[in-house]
Amino acid sequence: MDRRTLLAAAALGALARPALVRPALAQPGARPVTLVVPFSPGGPTDLIARRLAVSLGEGLGQTVVVENRAGAGGNIGAEFVARSAPDGHTILFGTSGPLAINKMLYPGQPYDPVKDFTPVAPLGRIPNVLAVNAGVPAGNVQELIALAKRQRLSFGSSGNGASSHLAGALFNTMAGTNIEHIPYRGTGPALNDLVAGHVAMVFTDVLTALPHLQGGRVRALGITTAERSAVLPDLPTVAEQGLPGYDASVFFGLVLAANTPDAARERLRATFAAVIGQAEMRKFLESQGMQVAPELTPAALTALMATETDRWARVIREAAVRAD
């Protein structure tokens, strides 16, 4: 066979193979990794993701770029990752919404959080705080429940189907109250109306509420996680105050596209665990109100997603919650 024939045969062989085979995330390399945040820039999820991206990049030996893909309660960014190449180079920094709750709020959701993702590990939870207007005559959760059964009260949220709405719906269900829900377009307007006394109470994240609490314009009655918050260590949980089992927090975790190779997932998981184990990172996360998960494994995230899906499915059904 002459040289010209050999070159022609090689060209035909190249055409018969896939045009590009991308190596999985199994070793350091020059190709960047994308960490998708399914919400707008500037919020608490984005802030934590950007801090994580720097440390993950150092551990992986690759650049980790944060990309915001907001919309539909986190579904747009989640679908993007679900449809990405399963090679470990596109990571979703997921939260309760896209990983557990949205399937009940958005009919026809274009991805399945169980079938379309490979779980890596949970990060933890950020609690809400139950805050009331300074003029509300209730000093604890039991007094608030008694007040709500005597007179008409309302609670504000950042929107229909938001975690702040679901926290209030769960409260009504467990306390046997009928506190009216008033949805706003964001946390800021809801807090403004709380300060003004147009709503009696809100459920909002600890850091957002803190300036208002310190200014005396609103009062905190309880933390919505099972454990107390390091940011407000003296504030008892709602569960401690007569509603055992009450837990209305936002969880965070990393997932990859389904069918990502085990080696790629394990390398990311091990790097993630090492990063979260750093004292400086722990201090930062706690300053953001994060309660770090005790077990950073795929099994722990899988179990968490299942538990949260079951919890909120009942609340959404009983309260007839609909997303904006």
pLDDT of residue 242: 93
Contact 253, 123 (CB under 8 A): yes
**If 0-12 CB within 10 Å is exposed, 13-18 middle and 19+ buried, where does residue 310 land?**
exposed
SS3 (DSSP) at 321: coil
CA-based angle 272:103:47, to the nearest 5? 35
Q: Could you give the C-alpha distances from 153 to 165, 172, 173, 203, 208, in angstroms and in order? A: 15, 11, 15, 14, 22
Strand partners, 119: 255
Distance from C-alpha of 241 to C-alpha of 237, rounded to nearest angstrom: 7
Tell whether the model's pLDDT for residue 112 goes beyond 80. Answer: yes
Scan for tokens 């998708």, then name that residue: 36
pLDDT of residue 24: 55
* Radius of gyration from C-alpha coordinates of the chain: 23
Percent over 70 (pLDDT), the chain = 91
Summarised one tens digit per residue, pLDDT across range 260-275 is 999 999 999 999 999 9
Q: What is the mean pLDDT of residues 63-71?
A: 96
Summarised one tens digit per residue, pLDDT across range 121-165 is 999 999 999 999 999 999 999 999 999 999 999 999 999 999 999
Summarised one tens digit per residue, pLDDT across range 211-262 is 889 888 899 999 999 999 999 999 999 999 999 999 999 999 999 999 999 9
Tell whether the model's pLDDT for residue 324 goes beyond 90. Answer: no
Residue 30 — pLDDT band, cuts 50, 70, 90? low
Element (H, E) at 159: none
Q: How many residues are listed for the chain in this entry?
A: 324
Q: What is the mean pLDDT of residues 195-217?
A: 91
pLDDT of residue 15: 37
Q: What is the mean pLDDT of residues 173-180?
A: 96
Tell whether the model's pLDDT for residue 57 goes beyond 50. Answer: yes
pLDDT of residue 29: 56
Distance from C-alpha of 273 to C-alpha of 276, rounded to nearest angstrom: 5
Q: Who's near 128: CB < 8 A, 6+ residues apart? A: 163, 164, 167, 203, 204, 205, 206, 223, 224, 248, 249, 250
φ/ψ (deg, to 5) at 34: -105, 125
pLDDT of residue 3: 39
pLDDT of residue 17: 37
Mean pLDDT score of the chain? 90
DSSP state of 237: B
What is the token pair recorded at 83? 């449809």
Whole-prediction pTM value?
A: 0.87
CB atoms within 10 A of CB 148: 23
